Amino acid sequence: MKKSKKSKQYSIFKLAARTVTSYVKTSKWWALLDQSFAVLHSLSWTVGIIATQVLFDAITAAAAGELSFWQVAAPLGVLAAVTVGQQVINGLENFTNDALMYRNYGRFMAQFQRKLSRLPAKHFEDTAFLDDVNKAKEGADWVGYFAFICTQIFTYYAVFFVSVGVYLFWLSPLLPLVILAAFVPAILGQLAQVKVFAKLEEENAPLRRQNEYYQRTIADREFYKETRILGGFNYFRRLFHDTLMLVTGKTWKTEKKAAIIRFLLNIASFAGLGASIVLLFNATMAGAVTVGAFAAVFAALNRIFSVMDEIVTYHLSSGSEHLGKIANYYRLMDMDEMQGTANTLDFSKGISAENISFTYPGRDEAAISGVSLEIREGETIAIVGENGAGKSTLVRLLTGIYQPDAGTVKVGGLDTKSAHPSAVFGGISGVFQRYQRYKMTLSANVGISSTKTPINADNIGFALAESEFNEPAADLDTMLSPEFDGIDLSGGQWQRLAIARGLYRSHDFIVLDEPTAAIDPIEEERIYNHFKRISKDKCAVVVTHRLGSAKLADRIVVMDAGTIVALGTHDELSSAPGKYADMWRAQSVWYENRS
C-alpha cells in the first residue's frame, strides 16, 4: 500500500458520515423506514414521561378531592395507550433492524472482496500490504455495526435526548446540565480509547495473520499427511499457541486498562445520577416541581441514565475498540484501482515486450531487467532457466498480471499499462504450476475458467478429452472432494483437469507455467506434445526447467538472473556454447533411453 494512503487519517466524524451515507444508499427505503420508527420510538418515551406526570398530578388532585375518579381515568387511558404504542413501535423498529441486518449481512465484506480484485497484483507480493488486507478484513466485519450505531445516535438517541432535555429544562434548567456533565468525562474517555485500540490493531494484524496460517497447518486436510508423518504437528501447534498468546496477551493488557477507565467513569455517572435526584427532590420540596413531575422524572431518570450508559459503555466503548479497524477498511477501499480502456485484442499483432524491468515490493534486486521479446501470431515460445531465473515473473508481465516498472508490454496490440485488465485477460488462458483443486463438481472445476457464459457440457467434455482426463469414477456432476461426500483424484488426474480448465476458456493466447513439474520427464513431454497440437495457430508460452519439452517450441528463451541470455531453436542453442547447452547436457540422461 502506498505510504500516502497508509498514513491517511480518518476522523471519527468523517468515518461516521461516510459509513452512514453508504449504509443509507445501499439500504434505500428500508433505512428510511427503520430510522422513522427509531424517531417515533424515542419520541414515545418523552410522551410517556409527560403522560406519567399528568397521571400522577391527577391522582394527587383526586386524593385531595379536587378531581373525580373518571377525571383520573382519562390520563390513565392516555398513558396506557402510549405504553401500548411504545411496544408496537419498538416491535416494528426491531423488525426493520433485523431486515436491515440481513440485507446488509456480508455487504461490506463483498465490497472489500471486489476491491481486492481491482487492485494491482503486485501489491500481493508486499507483506505490508498483506497485513493491511488482514486489518481491513477485520474492519469489514464491523462497518455494518458501526453504521447501525451512527444511525441510531443521529436518530433515536439524538431525538430522545433533545426532547427529554427540553422537558427537563422546562422543569429545572440545571437538571439536564447536571445529567450531561455526569457523562462528559465518560464520553471523552471513550474517545481517548480510539488511539489505544488502533495501536493494538497495528500490532496484532501481522501476528493474527501468522496465527491463522498456523491454524491451517494444524487443521487443513492439505497439511495433514506431512505434519503427522514428519512430526510437524506439535511444532505448528506450539507456534499457533505462542502467536495466540501474543495476540490475546496484548489484547488483554489493553482491555484491562480500558476496563479500569470504564469503572472510574461509571462512578462519575453514578454520582451524576445521585446529584440529579437531589436536585429534583429539592425543587419538589420548594414547590417548583409538582409531585407528579417528580414521580415521572424519578422513574424516567433510570431510563435516561440507562440510555446514556448504553451509549457510552456499550456503543462508544465497542466503537472505540473497532474504529481503527474501520479506518483500515476505508484506507484499503481508497487505494487506487487498476484503470484503463476496454479495447479489443488483436492477436495478429502477437505479444511484445520492450526493455521491461520489474522489482518485487520490498526487494532491492530486480526480478526482470531490460528484457525485450516478441511472440508472433501462432508461435509457441518456451521459456527455460534454472529456479529463480525470472521465468514466472516474465510470464506474469507478458500476460498483464503485473505491469512493468519500466518498458512496455503489449498483448494483442494493447499496452498493459493503459488497457483495462479485463480487456487484456479476455483472450488469455493458462495452466499454472500451482493450479487449484476446487472442492466443487467436475463440471464446475472446468467451467470456472469461463463464468460469464453458461456451462456447456459438450465443451467441457471436449476439453476433458483433449487433456486426456480419464477418471472412470467421475461424471460431470461428481463432487471432487471427500470432505463433501465426493471423490478425490490422483495428482496426474488433477493436472489433466487443470489443463482441461485452461482449454475450456476461449483464448488466442495460452500459457503453461510448469503445470507438470511434479511428474516425470517422459510423461511431461507426452503432455507437451499434446499441448503443441491443441495450441496450433495460437500464441503459446511454455515455461519449464526441463529441456526435453522446450525443444518442441518454435523458439526457446533462455533466462538467467532476470535477463534473456539466449534465444533460438533447440538445435541452434544445444549446438552452441552457453547456458542452454550446459543444461541440456546435464538433463540428457533423462531422455537418452527414449525411442
Q: Where would I find the H helices in 389-539?
A: 391-398, 421-425, 442-447, 457-466, 491-504, 521-534
- The domain that contains 253 carries what CATH number? 1.20.1560.10
Name every residue whose Cβ is closer than 8 Å to that of residue 45 and which is 6 or more positions away in sequence: 86, 160, 163, 164, 300, 303
pLDDT at 558: 93
In a domain, 102, yes or no: yes
Give yes or no: residues 353 and 312 share one domain.
no
Q: How many other C-beta atoms are found inside a 10 Å radius of the C-beta of residue 186?
A: 25
pLDDT given at position 564:
93
CATH number for the domain spanning 522: value is 3.40.50.300
- Do 469 and 382 lie in one domain? The reply is no
> pLDDT tens for residues 339-353?
877 777 788 888 999
384 and 513 share a domain? yes
Where is pLDDT greater, at 368 or 536?
A: 368
Instruction: Name residue, grid cell 508423518.
Output: 229
| Any domain includes 1 | no
Q: Helix/strand/coil (H, E, C) string of 249-314?
A: HHHHHHHHHHHHHHHHHHHHHHHHHHHHHHHHHHHHHCCCCCHHHHHHHHHHHHHHHHHHHHHHHH
Percent of the chain's residues with pLDDT above 90: 12
Cell of 297: 422524572
Task: Provide the domain count of the chain.
Answer: 3
Which letter does DSSP use for residue 348 in this model? G
Same domain, 345 and 406: yes
Q: What is the mean pLDDT of the chain?
A: 82
**Would residue 163 count as lying in a domain?**
yes
Instruction: Give the mean model confidence (pLDDT) for residues 294-299.
Output: 78
pLDDT of residue 461 exceeding 60 = yes
pLDDT of residue 313: 63
120/223: higher pLDDT: 120
Residues 374 and 519 reside in one and the same domain: yes
Tell me the mean pLDDT in the region 499-515: 84
Statement to judge: residues 297 and 236 lie in one domain: yes
Most confident of 315-319, 353-357, 429-433, 509-513: 353-357
Q: Is position 527 within any domain?
A: yes
Same domain, yes or no: 224 and 296? yes
Mean pLDDT along residues 231-253: 86
Question: Which residues have CB under 8 Å from 250's CB, separation 6+?
Answer: 200, 203, 204, 207
333, 349, 378 — which closes off a domain? 333
Q: Please indicate, yes or no, whether residues 396 and 445 belong to a single structural domain of this protein.
A: no
Contact yes or no for 368/397 (Cβ under 8 A):
yes
User: Among 67-81, 165-179, 181-195, 227-241, which range has the highest average pLDDT?
Assistant: 67-81
What are 491's three cell numbers? 495428482
Domain boundary among 481, 506, 531: 506
* Same domain for 292 and 190: yes
Say yes or no: 312 and 287 in one domain: yes
Considering the domain boundaries, does residue 44 fall inside one? yes
pLDDT tier for residue 517 given thresholds of 50, 70 and 90: low
Q: List strands edge to edge, sheet with 351-358.
A: 368-375, 351-358, 406-411, 414-415
Domain assignment of residue 112, yes or no: yes
Per-residue pLDDT at 328: 85
Q: Is 554 exposed, middle or buried (0-12, 13-18, 19+ CB in 10 A)?
A: middle
| pLDDT value of residue 452 | 81
Q: Is residue 2 part of a domain?
A: no
Residue 107 falls within a domain, yes or no? Answer: yes
Question: What dihedral do alpha carbons 229, 230, 233, 239 form, nearest 10°?
Answer: -170
Q: Tally the C-alpha atoms within 13 A of residue 15's C-alpha that lie toward its C-beta.
A: 28
Q: Given 298, 333, 368, which residue is the final one in a domain? A: 333
Residues 357 and 247 in one domain: no
Between these two residues, 251 and 517, which has the higher pLDDT value? 251
The pLDDT tens digits for 120-155 are 888 888 888 888 888 888 888 788 878 888 888 888
For residues 266 and 412, state if they share a domain. no
**Domain of residue 293, residue span:** 8-333
Per-residue pLDDT tens digits for 326-341: 888 888 899 888 887 7
Average pLDDT over residues 198-227: 79
